[in-house]
Amino acid sequence: MSFDPQSFRSALAFDGARPNLFEVRLNFPDFVALEGDRAGSGDNAGGAEQFTFMCKSASIPAQTVASIPVAYQGRNIQVAGNRTFAPWSVTVINDEDFTLRNKFEIWNNALNGHRSNIRERRTAQNTNLYGSTAHVIQLSKEGSPLRSYKFIGMWPTEVAAIPLDWGSNDTLEQFDITFAYQWWETELGTSDGTGGEIPSRNVDIV
């Protein structure tokens, strides 16, 4: 194929999707929202709206199906195996009120206490009590949703460290959260770029 910038421009629908146009929406489990508020966060919405504003980076999840090599006369034939879901991570800006940091620490600590080495009773039965749902939404340049991915039964496996340094000037603190989850689903997707209805910020708890 000869060099043809006009054809390339025509093939690039809507000038391409932009990685900085997205939202992440997450509801904390009820016990996390309530305890965080009692701890003085003052966040009556349970942290969901603040999280949407403070989540500065995320990713569209990967799809992975393992391959199983089956030997046949000296050559391996590849057949489809089982699906796996890799951990999913986001980066969150830290405010001076530590509202979101506090909620994630409460959530993670309830799964296995720092000192007690036991799981709290309110989370002990199954993932329905400590798992939540989240949405990562790709937005168009007009602000409409192009595609939404929903994570089912997710919970934080790691609340990462916040580096402190006297030489870190003109920057904001941030920290990473790594989640495990049961699976993810695609909710939205259009071919014309018009998108559809954005899932509510008050997403249901699994």
Model confidence over 83-140: pLDDT tens digits?
A: 999 999 999 999 999 999 999 999 999 998 898 988 887 777 667 788 999 999 999 9
Q: How far apart are CA 34 and CA 151, in angstroms?
A: 22
Q: How far apart are CA 34 and CA 27, in angstroms?
A: 12
Contacts of 81 (CB under 8 A, 6+ apart): 65, 66, 67, 68
Domain ranges of the chain: 14-189
Could you tell me which residues are beta bridge partners of residue 80?
Answer: 67
The answer, yes or no, to whether residue 201 has pLDDT greater than 60, is: no
Q: Which numeric CATH code is attached to 14-189?
A: 2.30.110
Tokens 């009590």 belong to residue: 129
Model confidence over 123-132: pLDDT tens digits?
A: 776 677 889 9
The first and second tokens of residue 136, run together, are 């990562």
